[in-house]
């Protein structure tokens, strides 16, 4: 496991694609690009390749640092009866053309949001530089080996089938994530390539998601870069009583407070607005003026 003090003091860097990420220097923004017809947040581009490319390029112009492309909705099937699993070939048909179209047109690294090893391999071959597995390697037993073979950074997002946390959600989320990190490191991926995500909203009640956000600093203290994806999540909807397309202010609160607790990457739908929230939060938390952003 990475020593957190050494990581921060030594300004450890990670090359994702052609971009250098310096953990602790500022907060990085990951823009969500759902190339699905059934995204929970209502922003899926479906099979409209041009629309997907234009949205990604707009995210780049708005200040995103990573584009996360997903071809299967992660919304829970227990809550959305029309949410169905997508076969690997169909998921690949959705995401690969978008990755290929963007790989030569943008400087930002592309992340593939998938639970399938075969899709991850095809995506990296097409130009993706990072894998984001929201199943914590549970959906496909081949994913650990695939990520280790590919040698690209991986985001491990927390989930668990039981959705029960007898020792408390914070303690058990951290334990599960460290176990998953150890598995992929044992397979050969360097620890520096592992990024942890507490999985806000994944098999967690609104109260558990909020408790996990309150305890983010405990996950940050374990030494790995931390990503949080609370954007438009149902916990915000339950607190504010608002649908997914009206949760921007709630998302802004989660972003600002996550940055105060030390997270490294925020995964968001509203890129322009959350880039501004992140920059202001960084000015307060990390100091100001900030160094210039490479490539901008």
Which listed residue (233, 279, 286, 296) is catalytic? 233
What distance in Å separates the CA atoms of residue 105 and residue 279, rounded to the nearest whole number? 26
Contact present, 1 and 194 (Cβ < 8 Å): no
The packing angle between helices 169-186 and 143-150, to 10°, is 60
Radius of gyration of the chain (CA): 17
81 is catalytic: no
Which listed residue (267, 279, 286, 296) is catalytic? 267
At a CB cut-off of 8 Å and minimum separation 6, what does 27 contact?
Answer: 259, 263, 264, 265, 266, 278, 281, 282, 286
At a CB cut-off of 8 Å and minimum separation 6, what does 245 contact?
Answer: 41, 42, 232
222 is catalytic: no
Instruction: Give the residue numbers marked as catalytic.
Output: 233, 267
């Amino acid at each position: 496991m990475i020593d957190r003090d050494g990581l921060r003091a030594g300004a450890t860097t990670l090359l994702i694609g052609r971009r250098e990420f310096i953990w602790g220097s500022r907060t990085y923004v990951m823009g969500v690009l759902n190339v699905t017809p059934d995204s929970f947040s209502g922003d899926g581009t479906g099979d409209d390749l041009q629309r997907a490319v234009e949205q990604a390029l707009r995210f780049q112009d708005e200040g995103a640092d990573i584009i996360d492309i997903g071809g299967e909705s992660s919304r829970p099937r227990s809550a959305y009866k029309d949410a169905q699993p997508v076969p690997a070939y169909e998921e690949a048909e959705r995401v690969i053309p978008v990755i290929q179209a963007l790989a030569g047109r943008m400087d930002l690294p592309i992340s593939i949001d998938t639970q399938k090893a075969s899709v991850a391999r095809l995506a990296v071959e097409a130009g993706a530089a990072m894998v984001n597995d929201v199943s914590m390697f549970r959906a496909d037993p081949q994913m650990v080996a695939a990520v280790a073979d590919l040698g690209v950074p991986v985001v491990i997002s927390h989930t668990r089938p039981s959705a029960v946390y007898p020792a408390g959600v914070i303690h058990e989320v951290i334990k599960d994530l460290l176990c998953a990190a150890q598995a992929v490191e044992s397979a050969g991926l360097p620890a520096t390539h592992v990024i942890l995500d507490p999985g806000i909203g994944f098999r967690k009640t609104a109260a558990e998601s909020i408790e996990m956000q309150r305890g983010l600093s405990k996950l940050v203290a374990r030494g790995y870069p931390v990503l949080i994806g609370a954007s438009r999540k149902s916990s915000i909807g339950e607190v504010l009583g608002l649908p997914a397309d009206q949760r921007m202010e709630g998302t802004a609160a989660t972003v600002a407070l996550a940055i105060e607790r030390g997270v490294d990457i925020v995964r968001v739908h509203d890129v322009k607005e959350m880039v501004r929230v992140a920059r202001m939060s960084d000015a307060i938390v990390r100091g100001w003026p900030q160094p210039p952003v490479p490539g901008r």
